[in-house]
Structure 1
Amino acid sequence: MSHAMDVEALTAFLARDFGQVAEDFRVEAVTAEGLRLRLKVQERHLRPGGTVSGPAMFGLADVAVYLAILSRIGPVALAVTTGCAMDFMRKPAAGRDLYAEVRLLKLGRSLAVADALIFSEGVTEPVARANMTYSIPPAR
């Protein structure tokens, strides 16, 4: 599968079009399967008990899948999430970044489907899994 955007292009797109969250993330790799994205965990991402909150993990999965899709189709800012099923399986390790490994399962003209496994840095087993569907707007 060819790549329309590499790590540098995705990072620039995120900074330009989503500056409000760009500093939270680092695109680490565009892979044959999809993408790897890191959430640079800060205090604002934590819930009581010192673990990363569910909304922060959802945000990581959502941004990771979005960028994986853009890595293939180019900078389409209006591609949107239309569905998500998320399983929270383990408590993330305290004080560690999270990263999502995305596998694109289907990339059609109007829909994309992907899985995102979320890991806590230094831990082998995933802490969460998200299955996401995105709507891709028609080309103009």
Structure 2
Amino acid sequence: MSDTWTPRLDRDGLAELLAEHFPQAGDAASWLAGAGEGWVELVLPFSTDQLRPGGTLSGPTLMTLADVAMYFLVLTHIGPEPLAVTSSLHIDFLRRPAATDLRARAELLRLGKGLAVGRVEMSSVGDPRPVAHATVTYALPRTENE
């Protein structure tokens, strides 16, 4: 792995990879709102299916967004490698998210040969206060030389 964190896969490349390997993801690549050196930003469109009793977004919705954000972060920085897998996800729920679109900003903390570690901060669109914070580790597939 290079020490530079320049994105190697754009939204179109991500959409192609998801369509080929994860057709169940639908149009999830459209959630990608931006990417740069060591970061990606996603916006998850609101759906009433995401609500839990009490009218707030469910914990599984936030956990899914954290995992997808980290997966997109890893893929955009290592290229089209569908075998990168979650090895750890820790999430802290900080406040009740509004019933609206969710924004997630994922940042790389470390990108090595075998692991990628990052953090994901999530907030309701229109409110910059974080609703959840996650640290996520992905195991990266070994190359033939390893």
Q: Do they superpose with TM above 0.5? A: yes
Give the corresponding residue for 1:97. 101
CA distance in 2, matches of 1:52, 1:15: 27
Match of 2:130, SS state, is coil
Unmatched runs of 5 consecutive residues or more in structure 1: none
Deviation at 1:124, TM superposition (A): 1.2
Match of 1:34 in 2: 39
List runs of 5+ in structure 2 lacking aligned partners: none
Larger Rg: 2
Q: Is 1:59 aligned to residue 64 of structure 2?
A: yes
Between the aligned residues of both structures, percent identity stands at 40
* Superposition TM-score, scaled by structure 2 size: 0.88
Figure out how many residues of one structure are paired with residues of the other and give that number. Answer: 139
**2:13 matched to which residue of 1?**
9
Corresponding residue SS for 1:11: helix
Separation (CA, whole Å) in 1 of partners of 2:81 and 2:38 = 20
Deviations 1:60-110 (A, max 9, x none): 01011011011111111111111111000011112x100110000000010
Q: Matched residue of 1:127: which SS?
A: strand
1:18 Cα deviation after fit: 2.3
Deviant stretches of 4+, over 4 Å = none
Provide the C-alpha distance between the structure 2 equivalents of 1:22 and 1:90, rounded to a whole number of angstroms. Answer: 29
